[in-house]
Amino acid sequence: MRRSARPARAATRLLVAPRQRLAPLIDASADTETDADTRLRVDWCLEGATPHTLSDTSPPEAWQALTRLAASHPVTLLLAADAVSHFHLAAPRGLKRREWPLLLETVTSEAVDQLHLNPLQRGRGHLELIALPRAELAAWRAWARRLGLAPTGWSCAFLALPRPATPDQITTLDDGSHRLCLGLAAPVAPGAPEARQWLAWPRDWPLPPAWRERDCQVVDGNIDTGPDTDAHGDTGQPRQHDGERGDGDGDGERDDDERQDGGEAAAAQARLRSLTWLADQPPAALPFADDSGARRQGITWQPQRRTRWLAGAIALLALLDASLWLATSWREDAATSQRQAAALAARFVGPPPADARAALASRADAIDALAQRNRQLSEALATATAQLAATPWQLSRLAVSGNRATLAWRYPEPPAPVVLNRARQALATLGEAQWQALPGELSLNLPLAADTPEPKP
């Protein structure tokens, strides 16, 4: 049998879009499940078909019909667009998948190790990611399984928006609660394409100025946020006709109720239009888990055999380098010690100089002369101290210069001439003492032994 060369047609997907932004809290340990646990308000449709809505008030047969469709079609959970995060960042070359959370630490306050990251675009110097808390994604998957849907992937409406032609344009989709906008910005790295920007903005609010100034392309053909709102979301002031002006509070409350009912109806119509458009232009499905490599939860990582071998080789090379450095340092230290020892030995080893005896004799004479001078000075100082011991005179200065020594004494108060004469007589055996009135000292000059050269080491 001849096999056709045409590729097999992909199975029609079943899109299930919960209205709730956050996943319901389900007790996994409970034996039974309740309608409040699983039967939320959801919209569903087959690709290319009309959307349907189910809630906790829908009959069980409607939920059973959805379960039967899920058994024969792959299910994609279409999560709320404002529940996901989008990043288009500059990335260094060679960045590993396990290192992606580290790249997000500077741009988000979320716990990056708890995010489920899926690449949308990856090239040289840039990386585009869609992120969702891992626990949130697991909770939605558990909810769908308890409902009997067994989803094979998940997505959001942003992935279906067409890329604008220029940075001056944006494409928008009103999902009933938010206006989803896709725009372009400058490339995050040289050679990278223009960065994509996502914005989920409340549908009743005017768009930020940076987005409102661009040309708006509505992908579903219509944006209806009320009678006073233009295509860019610029809400004007409420208009009040003369016939509607009244003084009663009941009229005002009735107008508010009518306005609220009209807003809810417009939001429901916008969601229906967005789901119809998404059924014709379904977004790509993303996997619940990453099976492309040895990646663990968060940023933990288990090294492979080759990586362990490389780590061992690096450690061995580091050890060899340290050994070579130690050997080289030891050799240099040994050579330096040898040079210092040789220089020290050269000072003491060898023949004595020719004038060694004369230098030694001169040094001995100088030492003897110094000893004699010190002895004379000590004897003179002892004699003067003994002569003036019974008087208030105190030694105030002792100076030696060459072969002459100067001793000076002070009296506690200006001495009388009689006191000065008695002190001169007491010191007469040593020499003639002179009174110096300006410093108030009685000084005595003593001759010492003749000058001799100071001994040199």
Strands (E), 203-348: 215-218
Residue 238 DSSP SS3: coil
How far is the CA of 362 from the CAs of 283, 369, 395, in angstroms?
A: 110, 11, 35
* Cα–Cα distance, 408 to 442 (Å, whole number): 5
- The rounded Cα 43 to chain-centroid distance in angstroms is 43
State residue 84's pLDDT score: 92
pLDDT beyond 60 at 441? yes
| Average of per-residue pLDDT across 75-99 | 90
Q: Give pLDDT tens digits for 232-253.
A: 444 433 333 333 444 444 455 5
| Average of per-residue pLDDT across 90-116 | 86
* Cα–Cα distance, 275 to 267 (Å, whole number): 12
| Average of per-residue pLDDT across 83-110 | 87
**Under 8 Å between Cβ of 123 and 192:** yes
Global model pTM greater than 0.85: no
State residue 405's pLDDT score: 85
State residue 9's pLDDT score: 57
Q: Which amino acid is at 412?
A: P
State residue 390's pLDDT score: 83
**pLDDT band of 98, cuts 50, 70, 90:** confident
* Cα–Cα distance, 213 to 230 (Å, whole number): 13
DSSP percent split of the chain into helix, strand, coil, nearest 5: 40, 20, 40
Q: Nearest-CA neighbor of 154 among 128, 133, 173, 171?
A: 133
**pLDDT band of 305, cuts 50, 70, 90:** low
* Cα–Cα distance, 222 to 271 (Å, whole number): 11
Q: Which residue has the tokens 């001793």?
A: 407
357 or 144, higher pLDDT: 144
* Cα–Cα distance, 328 to 330 (Å, whole number): 5
Q: Give pLDDT tens digits for 185-231.
A: 999 888 888 999 999 999 889 999 989 889 988 887 655 444 444 44
* Cα–Cα distance, 349 to 337 (Å, whole number): 18
95 C-beta neighbours (distance < 10 Å), count: 14
* Cα–Cα distance, 411 to 353 (Å, whole number): 57
**Under 8 Å between Cβ of 155 and 286:** yes
| Helix (H) and strand (E) counts in the chain | 9, 16
Q: For residue 344, give both structure tokens.
A: 């020290």
Residue 66 DSSP SS3: helix
Length of the chain as a residue count: 457
